[in-house]
Chain A
Amino acid sequence: MCSNSNNIYLPHLATIEAITDETPDVRTFKLVFQDEQVRDSFTFRSGQFAEYSAFGAGEATFCIASSPTRTGYIECCFRAVGRVTEALRALEVGDTVGVRGPYGNSFPIEEFYGKNLVFVAGGIALPPLRTAIWNCLDQRDRFGDITIVYGARTEADLVYKRELADWEERGDVNLVKTVDPGGNGAGWDGKVGFVPNILAEAAPSAVNTIALVCGPPIMIKFTLPVLEKLGFTDEAIYTTLENRMKCGVGKCGRCNVGNVYVCKDGPVFTARQVQAMPQEF
């Protein structure tokens, strides 16, 4: 591959260095760029995404799930639901994938310095927040209280189980984990209930606090009123939008919500921005 190509659709090649099964159908790849120069120069910010290729199947869009504070590799996390993700899933350690990016905007982490943070995530939507969580934990003294409310349908559907344990053990993070009613096994030591309700119960203070919310549309829909009730303003709530994308660079014309291009203007938006959009996402 020619690294000085001006072909914006040409991906960097990366080797799968490690594979972690998060749930029966969700998998994490640890990827290392094959070109040494790319490995050294590739930088990104929490919240940005990339186009990952399984050559022969195509490209799929996911966030970069690792933290920019951890250099030398990136991670992505995906559920095998389509042609590309199934082809990615079929790959093994040592195989090659393509990576185009990083694309899109990011969480303005620097603006959060000195503030408390509340992360609210549901199901497979933890990865876009996980990059920000580690980013903040790796510079822990810059932030006030950190609360993480994370839930999934069942225990088995929780991703990053090892890291949940890490966060639970740390004295400087308040992790509230939950599963939907009926999703708990005998040994479950977390909460039982839907994320919005558990968030209301945890009731983190909105004073000097930023909320970062990621989850399925239904979870977001019920979480925003809870945050509002807790006193969060729309500017203090950040979320990410997902839309079907192909180019990732503002050309192909399919990810727009009104005149907002999720690939360029997003994927990170404040609740105020999301509310101003036509409701077509």
Chain B
Amino acid sequence: MPKTITEHNLRLLIDSLLKDRFRVVGPRLAGAMALYEPLAKGEELVLDQLPRRSAKEVFFPVCENILSFERTEAGLQVTDVDLSAMSETVLVGVRPCDAAAVPVLDEVFSWDYKDEFFLERRRKTTIIGMACTKSDDACFCSAVGLSPGETKGSDLFLTPLLGGGYGCQVLTDKGQQLLARYPKLFVDTVDARLAPLAGGTGDRLDLKRIKAWLDDNFESPLWNDIAERCAGCGACAFLCPACHCFDINDEGTTELGHRRKHWDACGFGKFTNHASGHNPRDLQNKRYRNRIMHKFKYYDDKFGQTLCTGCGRCIRHCPVGIDIAAILREIESRSQ
């Protein structure tokens, strides 16, 4: 019999987790928008808004210390970060487009050298995904092969029911453990009719054909046409659930300070600038090309996955109206 949970119990679940010393992160109001932030109580969980920033920051924070240093009488001392101190976390209310990006990011942070800052958080986090019942015209998850009911990346997946509450689908051991820990909050239901999921999330794009076009069109007038308007900010990359470029910088003084890893964006003019002044991507169209190439070709070449989950954030918030879904349609049509 399928397990279900009422909205009330979902909030109770958060309270119970907090009581049991878990860190619980979920959509929470920050002004008029929602952000994935630590919740202080179940009531804070926002259920009807796609958070402005994606859930990637739970694993890959905007900025984090990767070491500290201090010059002492005994010489320069470097202090490592205690990764074991990271909290056991439950990430709740994650939209499918955000949850699906997490296993995509696993690839880059775990191939060859292991980025334990990402991976330790990943190990310690249980993801409760939630199906989407509301979309807008920037959403295009279905176009990139996902859907409003996609369970990729979730340990436990909630689907809204017609009569309120959520059907629960256990996808991993982590999800099972969570369910087993609070058995009273989840109930068996005979009638678990699912609410209709969001529609209009885009007709399926032929990503293989798009990639084939990208393979052959590093040089194309298209890049100029679409990127001439690009203002060169990092809004698209920073809101994206899959963009993961970062910078490393020392802050403080030479006597005492921290080394920090923080988000960076390939759209920034200085991103690839050499100290000599030489810049391989000296124009905005080259930088925008890299963005599309990385998402739909390079990452696929390397890891067999697309670096885009169709969340639509970059479309909604591009200062100059660049629409990646429209660009993909254009590329698809050119690849006929």
A contact residues vs B (CB 8 Å cutoff): 1-2, 5-11, 13, 53-60, 81-82, 85, 87, 96, 98, 217, 242-244, 246-247, 249-259, 264, 278, 280-281
Contact = CB atoms under 8 A, between A and B. Distances in A.
Q: Which of B76, B117, B245 has the most CB of A within 10 A?
A: B76
Given A55-B257, A58-B248, A6 B69 contact: no
B111 A250 contact: yes
B245 A55 contact: no
A87 B266 contact: no
10 contacts: A5-B80, A8-B113, A8-B115, A10-B80, A55-B76, A59-B250, A246-B248, A251-B109, A254-B264, A280-B286
B112 interface: yes
B113 A82 contact: no
Contact of B218 (A55, A96, A217, A278): A278
A243 to B, nearest CB: 7
Contacts of B43: none
Interface in B267-292: 271-276, 278, 280-281, 286, 290
Interface residues of B, number: 53
B46 interface: no
Contacts of B218: 258, 278, 280
B95 interface: no
Contacts of A53: 250, 259
A56 B250 contact: yes
Chain A to chain B: the 7 pairs with minimum beta-carbon distance, closest first: A56-B254, A253-B245, A82-B275, A249-B113, A96-B76, A259-B298, A259-B301
A42 to B, nearest CB: 16
Contact of A1 (B78, B249, B261, B278): B78
Contact of A251 (B81, B115, B280): B115
Contacts of A11: 78
A217 to B, nearest CB: 7
A58 B250 contact: yes
Contact of A250 (B76, B108, B250, B254): B108
A6 B81 CA distance: 10
B336 interface: no
B152 to A, nearest CB: 22
Nearest to B276: A81
A56 B297 contact: no
B112 A85 contact: no
Given A96-B75, A217-B278, A254-B272, A247 B298 contact: no
A251 B113 contact: yes
A234 B116 CA distance: 39
Contacts of B281: 280
Contacts of A10: 66-67, 78, 80
A11 B76 CA distance: 12
A62 to B, nearest CB: 11
Contacts of B280: 243, 257, 280-281
A8 B112 CA distance: 11
Contact of B113 (A246, A250, A257): A250
A247 B248 contact: yes
Contacts of A98: 78
B271 to A, nearest CB: 6
Contacts of A281: 280
Contacts of B80: 1-2, 5, 7, 10
Contacts of B233: none
Contacts of B22: none
Contacts of A1: 78, 80
